[in-house]
Every structure is written in C-alpha cells, then in structure tokens.
Structure 1
Amino acid sequence: MDKYIAFAFFLMSLVSCKGQIENAANTNTQDEIIEKYLKNGAWNHHYLTKEWNEWINKGIQADSTIAYLWQQKALPFWKQKKYSLAIKYYDKAVKYDRQRWLSRLAFLKCVFAKDYEGALTDIKTYIKEYGTILEQDHSLEFYMGLCYLQLNQFDKAFETLNQNVKAQEIEHGTDWVHYLDRYYLAIAYYEQSDYVNANSELDKVLKQYPGFSDAQYYKSICLNYLGKKEEAMKIADIGKSNYHMGKTFNEDSNIYEMYPYQITWQWNVLESSIIK
C-alpha cells in the first residue's frame, strides 16, 4: 500500500510541476507581448494617436487576456470624455486582473465619468474583497464620500468623510491629513447647515493650503450665514483674487476634469448673494 501512496504522490508532483512550468511559460509569453506591442509599439506614440490603438489591438489579438493591454486601450477614451467606451474596455482589464484595476476603475467613474452610483458599487466591492487602498493619494473612502455628496446623501457623506479624517489623524497625526480630505469634510458640514464646524474645518484647510480659493469661497458663505457679512465679503474678495491667480485644486487629474465642489463661475453668484 505504501508503494501505491508514494506513486500517487509522485504523479501529483508531476502534475504540479507541469502546471508551474505552463504558468511560467504563459507569463513569459505575456511579458513578451507587452514588450513588443506596448513598450516597443504603442509607447512610441502619443496615446491620442491612431498608432497607439493599432499597436494595442495587435497585442490583444496575440493574447486578449492581458489586463494591462485593455487598461492601456481604455486610456485615450477617458481623456477624450468617451466614457462609455473607456468603461467598456476597462471592464476587460478588471476581468483579467480584478485586484489591480477595480479600485482604479472606481476612481475613474467618480472623477471622470461622474458615474457615482457605479463608483460606489465598485468601491464597496473592492473594500469587501481586498480591503481599502489609495488611489491618487486618497483612500477609497474619500471617493466614497465624494459620491455621496454628489448624490445629495449628505448624512452618509459626512459619516464617511469624518471617519476617514479621524482614522488618518489617529494613524498619522492631524498635520498628515490631505487638505482635500478636510475640504470635503467641511463641505459635508456645510451641506448639513452646520456652518460653525464647516468654517472651523475650512480654517484648517487654509492653514495647510493658504490662498486655496475654493475653501475661501465656502468660508465666505459660512460667515455670511453666521451673520458676519463684512468678514464674508472680505474673504470673498480675497478668494476671487486667489482664484484668478490659479490657487485652486491641484490634483493631477484636474487638467482633464473638474472635481466636485470646485468653484469657477460661481464667484459672481457669491458676490450677489452676500450683498443681499
């Protein structure tokens, strides 16, 4: 009997070795395809050129299961605001490498496609399956809060953003928290008509990023609601001046997309509101 058991283990080891060899060979093949069609092909052209797409299509024809090729194929469509196509191809990337690309897709749906319900679904799914992660220097909970704000679910937005800031303060200290995390927490206070706490949080934002015009915009509104009209008008004037000097959001994606509660044309509305 011992001989049969030993022989069975021998056969199992052969099958295991064969599988490992096949997986290694497949990985090598995929690396070669990426090298040929991306590094030595598409990447020699700008992503908005036809050549970019042609090279990637050749790579996909060679192996349609390489997630990175689908992610790269989707890239131009995000920048061209062709979101349906971008999501269609990005879904393929998620299909073949879920852990790497699902959280990124959630970020893109939130900031680029403005698909807030879709982004929330992806964020919750990712956190459930893999835990939280950073995307563009912010946690997934940050983007979850943005989605709730944009869906006017202000109680959920506040709960999510407040917990996000407190968790960072506990782990890293108060000075470590990104100014936009605090900015959106201030917005959540503001949307719930808690102007005292909104103003307090905006002060923290402005201490970290002096001259941040968007924070000054909302600070002026809060001060106005608190009956401090003169101070509100003064902050509004300073904020508008800072806006024209470009002191606004400085996220990498800003050259392509506006972020929620980013202020542009609203300055004229603010002036008339405070004067009244």
Structure 2
Amino acid sequence: MVKWWIYCLSLFVVTACGQRNTNRYDPNAGLSDCELAERLYNQKGNQGSARSQQYLDSAIALCPAFAKAWHEKSVPYLKRGDYATWMQLINKVVELEPSNYLDTRGWCKVKFLHDYAGGLADLQRYDTLVAGSPKMVGDFNIHSWMAFAKLGLQDSSAALKYFDQTIDEAIRHLGPEWVGYHDYLYRGILKMELKDYDGALADLDRQIAHYDKLADGHYYRGLLLAKIGKKAQALASLEKAKALFTGDGYHAQDPYVEMPWQIYLEDIERALLQYR
C-alpha cells in the first residue's frame, strides 16, 4: 500500500487513486517497486522542472538503488552551478553503478569544477573498469578529457600524449574520418605552445581539411603563420576566421563554461589589427 500511495502522490491524482479498487483493471498490478519507479522516471517531464524532480524523488523512494534516477536528479544542479548538491548526488550514483557513471563524474569534475586531479583519477579508474576503445565520454574521447585534466595540472607533455591517444585510437579502430571535430585543433594549439611549429601547422592544416567551417582552426593557423613570419598567409587565415565566426561557420563553445582555448570575435579582430 505504501508504494501505491507514493506512485499516486507523484502523479498528482491522489483523489482519483484512493484505495485500490480490485474490481477495476489496474495497469500497475503485480509491478515491483523498481518497476513502478521506472514508470515514474519515464513520465517525469522536462529536466529540472518541479514535476521532474518530484517524480524522481518518488522513484528513488520506491527504488533507492535506481542509479539512473539519482543521476537525472543531479543534472539540473550541475547546470545551474550548485556543484555542492550535484557532488552529493553524483557520489551516490557512482557508489551504486561505478562502471556506468565514473566517467560522467570525471569529465564533469574537469569541465565544471576544475578539479583536475579528481577528474583524472575518476577517468583513469573508469578506463580500467570498462573494456573497449575508443571510449566517448560526454562530447570527447576519454583521453581528450584526460588531456584537459593534465593541462589544468600544468603538465603539457602528458596532455600531448593523451591527445595523441585520442587521434590514434580513432584512426586505428574506426578510420581517419572518425577523428573528432576538434581533436587536431587542440593538439595543434598545444604543439604551438610547445614551440613545435612544424607539427602544429600540420595539425592545423589537418583540422581545416577535416572541418573547414571551424573558425578556431583558421584563427590559430593565422597566429602560427604570423609567428613564423608568413604575414600575408596569416592575415588570410585570420580574415577567414572572422568570416566564419560572423557568418555561416562555427566556433567551439559551450553553453555552461568557457572551454580551453576558446576564441571570441574580439580575439580575431585584435589579431587582425596587430598583423595588418
């Protein structure tokens, strides 16, 4: 009876439910608590809404080991910047199903909290728990997230090795067309910072050949060409970057945080003024 009332209260139909009428067809008859919880999860509505959070609370009350519900309940807190509440919830999720959610906690620690050491530890542990390669985690290969973590820890050499793994895995297991939209870009920028200008230019050229519409590739290629004294080519790349940024192109960005090496229109215009 308790689980039935939890289910009814979640659906805002207490008056309609009342006592269970055994003379009528009951679609929930015979369902376990966790099966009822799954039904609530599937009826929760929009993520982060009051309805959704209430349904998730009820699903968890019915089935405390329902990791998917705990995770969905955590997401709005992460997106709204309440990282303390998110951590409490995601820790419970990982406790319940580490092989399914360690990667999520790891990349979110890197991206949102800038907890680079903690995020890297989670990602490395996940990589040992789960077989298969390549592993996509959020928007990137798991090794790209490890590279971002190493960048945050000021270890550029280790970061470069992880970017190498990202690209090598994609080519080896899936083919060169499966290299991510930003993979050559990030490796190229890092090589430029490490003063491997030949390697950086090769990667930025690969980035542009792989995805010409990305303004970032042209912008960083322009900066690199200016560094090695090719001013005319640098200006052409920077003009292309501006046209893409303000027109029908694309630039790397995220709705919640500033990503590594993210560019803005002001960056492009400042570089154009500097090198004209």
TM, length-normalised to structure 1: 0.79
1:225 deviates by 0.8
**Deviation readout 1:194-234 (Å, 9 max, x if unpaired):** 12211111111111111311111110111011111121122
Give the C-alpha shift of residue 240 in structure 1. Answer: 1.4
TM-score, length-scaled by structure 2: 0.79
Structure 2 residues without counterparts, runs of 5 or longer: 1-30
1:33 to 37, 40, 44: 37
Paired residue secondary structure (2:239): helix
Contact preservation (8 Å) 2:67, 2:97: yes
4+ long deviations beyond 6 Å: none
Q: Which has the higher helix share?
A: 1
SS at match of 1:65: coil
Partner amino acid, structure 2, of 1:179: Y
- Structure 1: tracts of 5 or more residues without a match: 1-26
- Do the aligned partners of 1:142 and 1:164 also contact (CA within 8 Å) in 2? yes
Change (3 A) 1:59 1:174: closer
The counterpart of 1:195, out of the listed 185, 190, 197, is: 197
Q: Counterparts of 1:246 and 1:114 in 2: how far apart (Å)?
A: 32
Residue of structure 1 in register with 2:25 after alignment: none
Greater shift, 99-108 or 59-68, is seen at 59-68
Q: Match for residue 237 of structure 1?
A: 239
**Contact 1:110–1:116 (Cα < 8 Å) also in 2:** yes
Q: Call closer, same or farther: CA 1:65–1:176 in 2, change over 3 Å.
A: closer
Q: What SS is found at the alignment partner of 1:179?
A: coil
Q: Which moved more, 1:223-232 or 1:114-123?
A: 114-123
AA of the residue aligned to 1:229: K
Q: Compared with structure 1, are the counterparts of its residues 118 and 34 closer, same or farther at alpha carbon in structure 2 (3 Å cutoff)?
A: same
The answer to whether the Cα contact below 8 Å between 2:104 and 2:138 also exists between their aligned partners in 1 is: no
Q: Distance in 2 between matches of 1:112 and 1:245?
A: 29
Q: Matches of residues 104-123 of structure 1 in structure 2 within 5 Å?
A: 104-123=104-123
Name 1:53's counterpart in structure 2. 53
Paired residues in the alignment total 243
RMSD (Å), alpha carbons:
2.2
Q: Which amino acid aligns with 1:194?
A: D
* 2:65 matched residue in structure 1: 65
2:186 corresponds to 1:184: yes
Amino acid at match of 1:266: D
